[in-house]
């Protein structure tokens, strides 16, 4: 599989359209799934995904197989989605608010066992955009704080704050749904 | 019973979502359009690169030549100016002492006219030299003019010497 992809990548760098379409066919549905996590409008998600592919084709010569091609591509697609969100004026937390924040020592991600993955994803989608974004990047995509800061262009401190608040809200919402009755 | 929800997502395999039917055609269109756009941009860059290379070569070449010219010109100019300065200073000095020593109005007038003519000629050649600094004929004419002045200066000096001697003789 990876050998096949490597060959495709080399052909794409040379600008072979067929190889580019083959690569698109291989990853488009997975990348569309990722894009839909960030952009609710499916048409918007599709456009962002396709734009992301075009950008990836331009950057292919700098791709190194330290990470899987899928992970590399996913980052570009997510970046593209965030660019779209930013154009829609994504809210960010002001610095002043950070000082007013009561430090939440809760670093645990232990939640009630009955909670399903699907339920968590659905609840995250209900959160305000800024918390939703950081939670998705941290929890679902598995990026660390410096990666999130790089993707969102937010200071690490801000993304940590968003994550903490996001997690609090997630717990509360899940509690309301009676899944976290004990908390 | 608790669970770390981070672990829930760790084993995430790339999930897929079905795209609308015409997505491939749409992407192909975008891909071709972006290639055309890039091609145009690359061509533009190529032209810009060629132009800037030619421009910089031209700039460097003219700069080199003008520097060379400037260097030779200044060397020549300095030489000329030095010669000119020495000659003119000497002429002026001798002229002043000549006027003091002689009361021969005709003689003064004669040399004054000669020097005036030569000076006019010199100014004329100088202006030609400023226009065309590489013309050997002009440079030669300048030197020739200075030579004539030198000759004149020597004549004056001879006159002065003669006059001095006469003056000395008369005072003795």
DSSP letters spanning B34-46:
HHHHHHHHHHHHH
CA pair distance A120, A80, nearest whole angstrom = 24
* Residues 81-140 (A) with a CB less than 8 A from some CB of B: 108-115, 117, 120, 139-140
pTM (2 d.p.):
0.58
Give Rg (Cα) of chain B.
Answer: 42
On chain A, the residues whose CB falls within 8 A of the CB of B9 are 117, 139-140, 142
Reported ipTM exceeds the 0.85 cut? no
> Within a 13 Å sphere around the CA of A126, how many CA atoms are in the beta-carbon half?
14
Coil, helix or strand for A79? helix
DSSP A171: H
Q: Which of A2, A30, A183 to mutate to test the interface with B (most CBs of B within 10 A)?
A: A30
Please count the helices (runs of H) and the strands (runs of E) in chain B.
Answer: 4, 1
Torsion of CA B146, B149, B153, B156, to 10 degrees: 180
Per-residue pLDDT tens digits of chain B, which is 172 residues long: 777 888 877 766 667 888 888 898 999 999 888 888 888 888 888 888 888 888 888 888 877 766 555 555 567 667 777 777 777 777 677 677 767 766 677 777 877 788 788 888 888 887 877 777 667 787 778 778 777 776 776 777 777 777 777 767 766 5
Residue of A118, A107, A151, A120 whose CA lies nearest to A133? A151
């Amino acid at each position: 599989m990876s050998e096949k992809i490597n060959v495709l990548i080399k052909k794409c760098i040379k600008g072979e359209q067929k190889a580019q379409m083959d690569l698109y066919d291989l990853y488009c549905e997975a990348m569309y799934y990722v894009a839909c996590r960030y952009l609710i409008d499916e048409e918007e998600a599709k456009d962002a995904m396709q734009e992301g592919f075009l950008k990836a084709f331009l950057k292919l010569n700098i791709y190194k197989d330290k990470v899987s091609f899928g992970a590399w591509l996913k980052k570009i697609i997510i970046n593209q989605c965030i660019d779209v969100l930013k154009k829609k004026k994504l809210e960010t937390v002001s610095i002043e608010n950070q000082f007013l924040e009561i430090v939440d020592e809760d670093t645990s991600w232990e939640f009630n066992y009955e909670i399903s993955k699907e339920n968590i994803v659905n609840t995250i989608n209900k959160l305000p955009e800024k918390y939703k974004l950081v939670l998705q990047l941290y929890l679902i995509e598995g990026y660390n704080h410096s990666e999130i800061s790089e993707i969102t262009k937010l200071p690490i401190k801000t993304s940590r704050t968003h994550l903490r608040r996001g997690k609090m809200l997630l717990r509360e919402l899940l509690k309301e749904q009676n899944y976290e009755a004990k908390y | 019973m608790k669970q770390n929800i981070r672990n829930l997502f760790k084993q995430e395999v790339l999930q897929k979502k079905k795209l609308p039917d015409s997505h491939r055609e749409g992407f192909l269109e975008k891909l071709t359009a972006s290639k055309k756009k890039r091609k145009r941009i690359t061509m533009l860059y190529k032209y810009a690169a060629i132009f800037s290379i030619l421009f910089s070569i031209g700039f460097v070449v003219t700069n080199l030549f003008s520097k060379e010219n400037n260097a030779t010109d200044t060397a020549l100019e300095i030489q000329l100016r030095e010669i000119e300065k020495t000659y003119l200073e000497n002429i002026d000095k001798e002229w002043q002492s000549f006027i003091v020593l002689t009361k021969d109005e005709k003689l003064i007038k004669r040399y004054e006219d000669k020097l005036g003519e030569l000076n006019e000629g010199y100014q004329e050649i100088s202006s030609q030299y400023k226009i065309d600094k590489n013309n050997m004929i002009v440079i030669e004419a300048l030197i020739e003019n200075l030579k004539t002045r030198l000759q004149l200066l020597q004549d004056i000096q001879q006159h002065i010497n003669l006059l001095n001697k006469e003056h000395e003789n008369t005072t003795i």
